[in-house]
């Protein structure tokens, strides 16, 4: 599916200087401005290494300045928003687009507030599924997808999340299904953080197929609560709107902001992170 070609593995050099996959990201285009969206804890890896995206014949270094949600007390483990973005240079965008696809902002859903039981698709690249060709900086891999139902409100509470800002989807590894409905034995989820979350916005009446829209970014797996957790896309888009006001008219505004407009205050999501979040057991950044 063409839409899934906007989901890309993120790599960094390990202690031996060998590039390894550390996460996933989504490529988004807003009025000819090109962005990399991911989990904040993935972008934090820039503290120890340059991050790369795989190009057709080489790795593409990401040099843009990152903007991330604020980690309470500087502790990313307490950040249940955990998203960020990088504005790519024109050259970076051109190189990446030879291999991948920038999703137009028209294909996002900022108003998704699905009822319990609604289906979502989590997408990303498990680190173990991204392989390097022998003695070359060329990487192969295939995006993996997991389909799950939106969790009951009680699970949002147990997971330390908020219904308006997060997406929480039921996930049992032994019963996981891909977007085609086939039961799969998922590889290690490590590396899928930063990948896209998709929701069906209805059906294409001409072809009778679901129409997918990007509605969030995946951030973690909670085994005890049997769920995958993500952050809704409007949070990231409001961060971008703050920093790129000339793009404001091209960025859809979420109806959620009419309920809690301070979530976008200064692009730092203060109100969202002021809710207390304790350290949860069996909680793993993907």
Total residues belonging to the chain: 286
Structure tokens at 273: 């992170």
Per the structure, the count of domains in the chain is: 1
What's the pTM? Answer: 0.85
**CATH number where 248 lies:** 2.40.10.120
Opening angle at CA 64, ends 83 and 77, nearest 5 = 25
Phi, psi (degrees; rounded to nearest 5) at 77: -65, -20
The answer to whether the CB of 150 falls within 8 A of the CB of 118 is: yes
Residue 84: name the closest of 64, 59, 111 by CA: 64
Q: What is the DSSP string of 183-220?
A: B------TT-TT-EEEEEEEEETTTTEEEEEEEEEEEE
Could you tell me the residue range of the domain that residue 159 belongs to? 2-285
DSSP 49-72: S-EEEE-SSSEEEE-SPEEEPPPG
The beta strand positions in 82-226, using DSSP E, are 83-87, 103-104, 119-124, 131-132, 139-140, 144-149, 166-170, 196-204, 209-222
For residue 154, what pLDDT is reported?
Answer: 87
Neighbours of 283 (CB within 10 A): 16
At a CB cut-off of 8 Å and minimum separation 6, what does 154 contact?
Answer: none
Contact in structure between 51 and 63 (CB atoms under 8 Å): no
Q: Which pair of structure tokens corresponds to residue 50? A: 């340059």
pLDDT 10s per residue in the chain (286 long)?
578 899 999 988 888 877 888 899 999 999 999 999 999 999 998 887 889 998 878 889 998 888 999 888 888 888 889 999 999 999 999 999 988 999 999 999 998 876 666 789 899 988 776 666 655 666 667 788 888 888 888 888 888 888 888 999 887 555 555 555 555 555 556 668 999 999 876 544 445 445 889 999 999 988 888 889 999 999 999 999 999 999 999 999 988 877 664 544 444 444 344 443 444 444 556 6
């Amino acid at each position: 599916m063409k839409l899934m070609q906007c989901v890309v593995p993120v790599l960094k050099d390990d202690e031996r200087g060998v590039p390894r996959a550390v996460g996933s990201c989504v490529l988004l285009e807003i009025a000819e401005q090109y962005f990399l969206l991911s989990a904040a804890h993935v972008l934090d890896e820039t503290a120890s290494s340059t991050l790369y995206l795989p190009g057709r014949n080489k790795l593409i270094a990401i040099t843009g300045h990152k903007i991330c949600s604020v980690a309470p007390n500087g502790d990313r483990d307490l950040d249940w928003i955990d998203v960020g973005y990088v504005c790519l240079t024109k050259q970076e965008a051109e190189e990446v687009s030879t291999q991948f696809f920038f999703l137009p902002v028209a294909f996002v859903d900022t108003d998704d507030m699905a009822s319990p039981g609604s289906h979502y698709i989590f997408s990303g690249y498990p680190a173990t599924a991204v392989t390097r060709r022998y003695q070359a900086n060329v990487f192969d891999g295939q995006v993996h997808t997991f389909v799950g139902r939106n969790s009951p409100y009680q699970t949002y509470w147990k997971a330390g999340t908020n219904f308006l800002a997060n997406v929480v989807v039921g996930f049992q590894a032994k019963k996981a299904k891909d977007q085609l409905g086939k039961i799969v034995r998922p590889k290690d989820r490590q590396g899928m953080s930063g990948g896209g979350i998709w929701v069906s916005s209805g059906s294409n009446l001409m072809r009778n197929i679901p129409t997918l829209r990007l509605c969030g970014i995946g951030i973690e797996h909670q085994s005890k609560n049997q769920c995958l957790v993500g952050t809704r896309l409007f949070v990231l888009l409001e961060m971008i709107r703050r920093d790129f006001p000339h793009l404001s008219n091209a960025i859809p505004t979420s109806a959620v902001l009419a309920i809690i407009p301070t979530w976008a205050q200064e692009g730092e999501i203060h109100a969202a992170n002021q809710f207390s979040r304790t350290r949860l057991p069996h909680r793993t950044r993907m």
